[in-house]
Amino acid sequence: MEKAVYKINNKNVHISNGNHKLGKGLYNINLLPGDQPLKKKDGTLLTNIKGTCDGVCGDCKQYCYAMRDTTRYHNTCIPAQGENTRLCREKPEEYFKQLEEFLAHHKVKVFRFHSSGEIPNFDYFLRMNKLAVKFPNVHFYCYTKRFQILELYHQIYGDVAKNLVVNCSEWNGNIKLYNLEGYNFFVWDDGNDPEIAKLPHCRAVSAPKMPGGKGHSTGVKCIDCGLCWRKNDGHRIAVYNH
């Protein structure tokens, strides 16, 4: 394999205290996005570690903000996301132990899994839920297209922890084959469905000025909104193309 730009180890988790969209105080941990090792536009390989979105990003990776931004800011994103990805794959006990230690020693109100990347597997999701049970005063949340994992969890265990809010990312009818009772839904609004237009919308993104266009940042921070992270009750939230 072609030599990677970044050498990635598997020693430590990297947790961010918000960003320009999430807002300070909304802690988050990120994994590598996509289903292949990321490359620059000129084909330069950034890392030889595959992303965590195998099997669920074929339709949307050309629009993926996580792949775009991780590639654009690779000097800071790749080392952190890569180390998180290696650690959770190779040493999941250590990965979640470090997360637990962080939460025990910091005042965390809201914690988001994966602004970049996906739930890697069923065991990882079980550990997410156990972490939420252990820290009932923290609002945990995520977005995912790993519907098979959610469906299997619900069949075996029933509802997830009350403070773990799971938003199923709807895309081109991808939820039709699954029983996703008990989870929320995050819907892409491309302007072509009047029923989606009626839904509550993400307050961080404005409506496009022209049909088929893109919305822009409104300045509203996720930490101040809470539509996506306050409760699991099966509600649907839409977001404009951005």
161 Cβ partners below 8 Å, 6+ apart? 129, 132, 133, 136, 140
Least Cα distance to 204 among 71, 22, 30 occurs for 22
Task: Locate 181 and state its tokens.
Answer: 């009772």
Closest by CA to 108, choosing from 132, 73, 142, 84, is 132
Residues 82-87, mean pLDDT to the nearest whole number: 95
Q: What is the pLDDT of residue 5?
A: 62
CB atoms inside a 10 Å sphere around CB 79: 16
- Would you say residue 203 has pLDDT above 80? yes
Task: Output the pLDDT for position 238.
Answer: 94
pTM for this prediction: 0.92
Higher local confidence (pLDDT), 29 or 43: 29
In degrees, rounded to 5, the angle at the alpha carbon of residue 117 between the alpha carbons of residues 110 and 103 is 30
pLDDT band at 54 (very low <50, low <70, confident <90, very high): very high
User: What is the pLDDT confidence band of residue 43, given thresholds at 50, 70 and 90?
Assistant: confident
Segment among 4-13, 27-36, 120-129, 227-236 with least mean pLDDT: 4-13
Residue ranges per domain, the chain? 15-240
Mean pLDDT over 139-165 rounds to 96
Whole-number Å distance between alpha carbons of 166 and 140 = 9
Q: Would the pLDDT of 1 be above 50?
A: no
Q: Give residue 153's pLDDT.
A: 96
pLDDT band at 110 (very low <50, low <70, confident <90, very high): very high
Rounded to whole angstroms, how far apart are CA atoms 15 and 30? 8
Strand (E) or helix (H) holding 224? helix 222-225
Residue 159 has pLDDT above 70, yes or no: yes
**DSSP characters over 161-217:** PTTEEEEEEE-TTTTTTS--TT-EEEEEE-S--HHHHTS-B-TTBPPPSSTT----B
- Please say if the pLDDT value at position 213 is more than 70: yes
Rounded mean pLDDT, 36-52: 89
Whether the predicted pLDDT of 2 surpasses 60: no
d(CA 202, CA 218): 10
- Mean pLDDT in the chain? 90
Q: What DSSP state is assigned to residue 73?
A: T
Separation between Cα atoms, residue 51 and residue 183, nearest integer Å: 25
- Percent of the chain's residues with pLDDT above 70: 98
